[in-house]
Amino acid sequence: MENMVRWSLSVSKDTDISLRCYLAQQGKRKGDLSKFVEEAVRWRVLDRVAAQTKAQNAHVPPGELQAAIDEAVVAVRAERFKRQP
């Protein structure tokens, strides 16, 4: 199990009710609130990082960008799947 930390969050009453109703409709229980918030935060962080990366690379020609991506994929695969003697 991962190390867990406690957050103290404040949200509007409407948000609280909406989320709890949604989770109940999905058959979720009280403990699933933390899981939902963690997943939502992870998605939001990913979305922000992707948007920032796109903005930083907006000036790069598509072919050059694709070549850099292809090169990175090859390097990661080579490292990950290198054969052990």
Residue bearing the bigger pLDDT, 51 or 80:
51
Where b means 16+ CB within 10 Å and e means fewer, 2-34 reads: eeeeeeeeeeeeeeeeeeeeebeeeeeeeeeee
Q: pTM for this structure?
A: 0.69
pLDDT at 80: 87
Nearest to 57 by CA among 65, 66, 49, 46: 65
pLDDT of 10-56, one tens digit each? 999 999 999 999 999 999 987 899 999 999 999 999 999 999 999 99
Task: Output the pLDDT for position 29.
Answer: 86
Confidence band for 67, pLDDT divided at 50, 70 and 90: very high
